[in-house]
Amino acid sequence: MTTQTSPHPTHRAFLIAGPSGVGKGTVVKELVKRKPDIWLSISATTRQPRPGEVDGESYYFVTDDEFQAMVDAGDMLEWAFIHRKNYYGTPRKPVEEALKQGKTALLEIDLAGARQVRKTMPDVYQIFLMPPSVEHLEERLHGRGTEDEEAIARRMVTAREEMAAQSEFDAVVLNDSVARATEEILHIMGEIV
Ligand code: 5GP
């Protein structure tokens, strides 16, 4: 279910947004597994690593001061304060380098970040990953077991705000199954036809 289904081989920068718990991380992992030449941006964040998360792989885990210094130096392509708790941002240079090298770059960011990227990189192709339902999201967040009740409640507030903005995106992809959503996104990227 997309608003546009034709491939977009001319686009080289893509972003995926969507509410917390929709499965962006899983879909992104699957995309890179299917097409290892997709270059995935690694964000910087002030949030604490979850068990199993590795610095420099999942995120660059930084302090508030380090994050602020990157923002002040103009080193962030975009950044946001998310779930009213932590800073997240996309380091600019690696994205520019990847694009210069002709790679397909993929950013996985939140709505506020997507809105900023649209301004600085107007030809970025924006995909909104949609959950089958709000109830489904909440169940997934509980099932993940990585957030406490308060954090889940905060993420659900953000999720409702984000879902109201789906019409701003070039395509809306329903994450009814990881395999199907991945396939649809690869079509959109022109990686498979
Ligand atoms: P999590 O804490 O679950 O890893 O991520 C929380 C939210 O932050 C997700 O919605 C994710 O898409 C978003 N996010 C991750 N990295 C970035 C980033 O670099 N910039 C922005 N704006 N959002 C990000």
Measure 3 CA to ligand 1 centroid, in angstroms: 24
Looking at the predicted structure, is the pLDDT value of residue 7 above 80?
no
Task: Report which ligand 1 atom has the smallest distance to the Cα of 89.
Answer: 19
- When mean pLDDT is compared across 92-101, 121-130, 135-144, the lowest value belongs to 135-144
Mutate to test the pocket of ligand 1, among 54, 109, 118, 129 (most ligand atoms within 8 A of CB): 109
Residue with the smallest CA separation from ligand 1 atom 21 is: 109
Residue with the smallest CA separation from ligand 1 atom 1 is: 20
pLDDT of res. 192: 63
pLDDT of res. 3: 46
Spell out which residues line ligand 1, taking CB within 6 angstroms: 20, 24, 43, 47, 78, 80, 82, 88-90, 108-110, 112-113
pLDDT of res. 4: 45
Q: Binning pLDDT at 50, 70 and 90, where does residue 125 land?
A: very high
Q: For the residues 123-150, what does the mean pLDDT come to?
A: 89
The string of DSSP codes covering 131-143 is: -S-HHHHHHHHHH
Q: Going by C-beta distance under 8 Å and a sequence separation of 6 or more, which residues neighbour residue 113?
A: 15, 17, 78, 79, 80, 88, 89, 90, 107
Looking at the predicted structure, is the pLDDT value of residue 134 above 90?
no
Looking at the predicted structure, is the pLDDT value of residue 183 above 60?
yes
pLDDT of res. 181: 98
Task: Report which ligand 1 atom has the smallest distance to the Cα of 41.
Answer: 19
pLDDT tens-digit series, residues 78-109: 999 987 789 999 999 999 999 999 999 999 99
Residue with the bigger pLDDT between 69 and 139: it is 69
Q: Going by C-beta distance under 8 Å and a sequence separation of 6 or more, which residues neighbour residue 122?
A: none
Residue with the smallest CA separation from ligand 1 atom 12 is: 109
Read off the pTM: 0.89
Pick out the residues of the known binding site for ATP: 18-25
Q: Going by C-beta distance under 8 Å and a sequence separation of 6 or more, which residues neighbour residue 153?
A: none
- When mean pLDDT is compared across 39-43, 45-49, 82-86, the lowest value belongs to 82-86
